[in-house]
Amino acid sequence: MRVLVTGGAGFIGSHVVEALAAHGHEPLVYDVRDDPGADVRDPDAVARALTGVDAVCHQAAKVGLGDGVRDAAAYVSRNDLGTAVLLAAMADHGIRHLVLAGSMVVYGEGRYTCPRHGDVRPGPRTVADLDAGRFEPRCPHCAAALEPALIGEDAPADPRNVYATTKLAQEHLAAAWARSTGGTAVSLRYHNVYGPRMPRDTPYAGVASFFRSALARGEAPRVYEDGRQRRDFVHVRDVAAANLAALEADTAPGALTAYNTGSGDPHTVGEMARALAAAHGGPEPVVTGEYRLGDVRHITADSARLRADLGWKPTVDFEAGMRSFARDELRAP
């Protein structure tokens, strides 16, 4: 199968390219890192790139929490306009298979249970609470302490920042394309991806890259809040394998299917920082109490649907992954 991989020279995209080639497919890289003219917002360039293509893995995106709403136009342009241009060209070319790089950020906060009210959806954390170091969401009905749990794909979307909003819009665009064309669309909702070729020294990378970049400079990783935020850290090679499985799956046409793509093994941000620092040989992380408005407290994946439907399972466990990542090569931002 000839597969166009947008963002194929990037962190995750480059691993997707390798996985496709290793399994007999013909990946074609479309990325502004390789060619400044390879912009997903350029209809003519996209149309040329799609000639003879059977499927698309759409990895190209502007990522990260960003700068409040000041860079909202850039996020919408790259993520949503770019996706719309790509989907329109796919429709014109009769290409009916799409795998989209989705994200856990569409959920906002993860799943929580209250001892009295069961599953609840806490609202955004307030500046006053964050300033006072009250990081844990409370039950919106009785203010009781909540227990975080794994979140499934049927949870309602509740994006809490600009980037998250654009990732949800990408899914809606892909779903509209699938309904209109009878195509198959899969959104892999990545959780915290880490591994070789992560970008270094950039505010738009994930927390694993922040810590790894600090360690490479001989600095202590700076852990926000109290370090007890729960995340699902999944290795990039496992994410690439999920893309391959989604591409080869017999997915129902005319709709978008979303899959959480995580390890299923939650760890706190503090645990990750300590494991990475220990594997690197120090220095020890520092818990700062600082926060970023728009961050969520806990978000961990229930990836049972991906395992059941596509036969995928992660192969890199947390401890081995951190040992490897402590020495992995990072790429320039």
Q: Which residues are catalytic?
A: 163
Give, as one character, the DSSP assignment of residue 234.
E
Backbone angles phi, psi at 112, to 5 degrees: -135, 150
Distance CA 290, CA 172 (A): 34
Q: Are 228 and 268 in contact (CB under 8 A)?
A: yes
With 0-12 / 13-18 / 19 or more C-beta atoms within 10 angstroms meaning exposed / middle / buried, residue 329 is exposed
Q: Indicate left, alpha or beta for 64 from its phi (over 0: left) and psi (-120 to 50: alpha).
A: left
Token digits of residue 246: 């989604």
269-280 vs 318-325: helix axis angle to the nearest 10? 50
Sign of CA dihedral 125, 131, 136, 139: negative
48: which residues sit within 8 A by CB, 6+ positions away? none
Identity of the residue numbered 162: V
